[in-house]
């Protein structure tokens, strides 16, 4: 239960520390960027959220098992989520990035928070085009209209750290210019420090909840995402890794018009991956979209260890190709997970043990990923997005039902301390993978393609390739190589037979 007076005292102390430690002004664009103003706004929001729960929920003395309490709790969650959304939209920048991360935590937070914050994936606040032009002038060292005939006044899309405008070059070619919001660089250090104070405040009020992992990951990832030169390099690296896949499109980078705050890339048309109306009107098979995305991300994770870690719908486009199928266009390459070989192999073995329903191996590989003891069961549920009962029955045999989703939503939020403990202890590389998994499941849910069998087949094949590739590297003679080749062939053949059988059962309705 929240104690209001200590909370007020802590907020005052935190504000005093912050006002001393943080600079008063971050950049030349707007007075709202004064660090103490942003910090105070965040503290007031957190305090008001605490008051809502203290006064309007816990203060009523209701039975926590009663319907009245549960309905009231949902109302309070929604009110508090809206306050948090208002804070993100007002402070913008890093706050929106964190809000987007919250929107991906289906397994961790109440649905009222997740659904409220999802609007930030597609409707982040935009910066006035005059300020965008100013950034272009500063970074390109000349008037942008000396380079481009036109720059669209309305952005093609707006994200937490930047927005994209369509531009026509003097030579007639079309480009998409990603321009960083002018206030982001200066505010990011202040915002991260504010987040750290607020997380300490939450840990003090709710000692059973551990959110330091969120601060640590944000402090590590935000500087990378603010460097658009690194984003361009990531785009070229992933294009090179998948150059043999004709249906994957990565916009080409124009390096002479790219700086740390400006990224000029090939303009590519298409519809958002979650736009069912676009997909249907263009005669695109939603299952094909899901299958290609599944193959793409399985190879990223288990084969290459270089994973695009922000696959929310605004960053993935689909388009009809000339052969009648569809292309996948991958945008926003600012955040990638670089997986070590050891992590990649352990994670592949964990998935194989889950698919095999091998509890002993699940425990073993969960331990190798940082999860000790019986928490391996909860960890497996977080990785798969399924209940433990379904995992034991076989997640590849049973499609997720509405009842299972409702059960997870109601029960996962009731064990938040255990989940936050898992996130605090798990291998740091796993955090971006969990976020990626959740976003991919969200896309499948929107496309209504979660019942297909091909996803697990492709994942199993990639896991097997990953495990046996490591064994090849340790070979010392040709006889061992032949043995491993035969073993891998047999493992892949069993997968093919098994999933062919499951598919036949699914078709026949058995």
Give the residue numbers marked as catalytic.
310
| Cα separation of the two ends of the chain | 50
The CA distance from 120 to 126, in Å, is 11
The number of C-alpha atoms within 13 Å of 57 and in the hemisphere containing its C-beta is 22
The encoded tokens of residue 443 equal 């896309």
Residue 357 sits at φ, ψ, to 5 deg, of 60, 40
Residue 164 gets the label, from left (phi > 0), alpha (psi -120 to 50) or beta, of: beta
The CA distance from 260 to 250, in Å, is 19
Check if the beta carbon of residue 495 is closer than 8 Å to that of residue 457.
Answer: yes
Compute the Cα dihedral for 379, 385, 388, 391 and give only its sign.
negative
Residue 360 CB burial class (10 angstroms; 0-12, 13-18, ≥19)? exposed
From 328, 386, 378, 327, select the one nearest 355 (Cα to Cα): 386
Q: Residue 263 in 3-state DSSP?
A: strand
Compute the Cα dihedral for 294, 300, 305, 308 and give only its sign.
negative
The CA distance from 310 to 362, in Å, is 27
The number of C-alpha atoms within 13 Å of 101 and in the hemisphere containing its C-beta is 20
The CA distance from 387 to 133, in Å, is 50
Residue 324 CB burial class (10 angstroms; 0-12, 13-18, ≥19)? exposed
* Strands, E assignment, 170-303: 174-180, 248-249, 262-266, 271-272
Compute the Cα dihedral for 277, 280, 284, 287 and give only its sign.
positive
Measure the CA dihedral 436/438/444/449, to 10°: 110
Any bridge partners for residue 151, and if so which? 167
The CA distance from 238 to 304, in Å, is 10
Q: Which residues contact 199 (CB under 8 A, 6 or more apart)?
A: 211, 212, 214, 215
- CA 259 distance to own-chain centroid: 25
Check if the beta carbon of residue 84 is closer than 8 Å to that of residue 113.
Answer: yes
């Amino acid at each position: 239960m929240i104690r209001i007076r200590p909370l007020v005292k802590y907020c005052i102390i935190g504000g005093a520390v912050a006002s001393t430690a943080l600079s008063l002004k971050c950049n030349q664009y707007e007075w709202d960027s004064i660090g103490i103003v942003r910090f105070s706004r965040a503290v007031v929001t957190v305090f008001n959220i605490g008051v809502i729960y203290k006064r309007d929920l816990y203060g009523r003395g209701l039975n926590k098992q009663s319907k009245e309490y549960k309905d009231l709790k949902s109302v309070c969650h929604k009110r508090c989520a809206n306050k948090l959304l208002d804070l993100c939209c007002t402070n913008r920048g890093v706050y929106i990035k964190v809000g987007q991360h919250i929107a991906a935590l289906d397994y961790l937070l109440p649905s009222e928070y997740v659904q409220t914050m999802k609007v930030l994936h597609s409707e982040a606040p935009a910066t006035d085009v005059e300020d965008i032009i100013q950034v272009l002038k500063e970074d390109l060292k000349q008037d942008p209209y000396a380079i481009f005939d036109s720059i669209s006044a309305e952005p093609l899309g707006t994200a937490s750290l930047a927005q994209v405008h369509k531009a026509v070059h003097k030579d007639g070619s079309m480009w998409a210019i990603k321009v960083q919001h002018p206030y982001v660089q200066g505010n990011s250090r202040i915002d991260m420090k504010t987040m750290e104070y607020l997380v300490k405040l939450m840990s003090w009020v709710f000692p059973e909840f551990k959110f330091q992992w969120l601060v640590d990951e944000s402090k590590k990832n935000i500087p990378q995402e603010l460097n658009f030169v690194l984003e361009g390099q990531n785009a070229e690296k992933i294009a090179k890794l998948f150059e043999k896949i004709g249906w994957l499109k990565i916009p080409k980078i124009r390096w002479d018009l790219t700086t740390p705050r400006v990224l000029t890339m090939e303009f590519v048309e298409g519809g958002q991956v979650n736009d069912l109306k676009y997909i249907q009107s263009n005669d695109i098979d939603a299952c094909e979209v899901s299958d290609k995305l599944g193959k793409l991300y399985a190879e990223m994770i288990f084969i290459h260890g270089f994973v695009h870690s922000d696959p929310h719908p605004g960053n993935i486009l689909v388009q009809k190709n000339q052969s009648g199928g569809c292309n996948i266009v991958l945008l926003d390459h600012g955040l990638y997970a670089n997986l070590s070989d050891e992590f990649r192999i352990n994670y592949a073995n964990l998935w194989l043990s889950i698919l095999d329903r091998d509890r002993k191996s699940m425990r073993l590989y969960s331990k190798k990923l940082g999860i000790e003891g019986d928490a391996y069961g909860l960890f497996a549920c977080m990785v798969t997005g399924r209940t433990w009962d379904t995992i034991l029955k076989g997640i590849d045999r049973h499609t997720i039902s509405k009842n299972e989703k409702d059960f997870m939503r109601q029960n996962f939020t009731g064990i938040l301390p255990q989940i936050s403990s898992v996130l605090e202890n798990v291998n740091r590389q796993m955090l971006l993978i969990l976020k990626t998994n959740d976003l991919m499941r969200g896309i499948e849910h929107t496309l209504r393609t979660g019942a297909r069998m091909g996803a697990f087949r492709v994942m199993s094949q990639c896991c097997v390739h990953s495990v046996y590739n490591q064994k090849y590297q340790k070979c010392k003679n040709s006889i061992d190589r032949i043995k491993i080749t035969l073993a891998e062939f047999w493992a892949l053949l069993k997968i093919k037979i098994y999933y062919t059988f499951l598919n036949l059962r699914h078709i026949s309705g058995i």
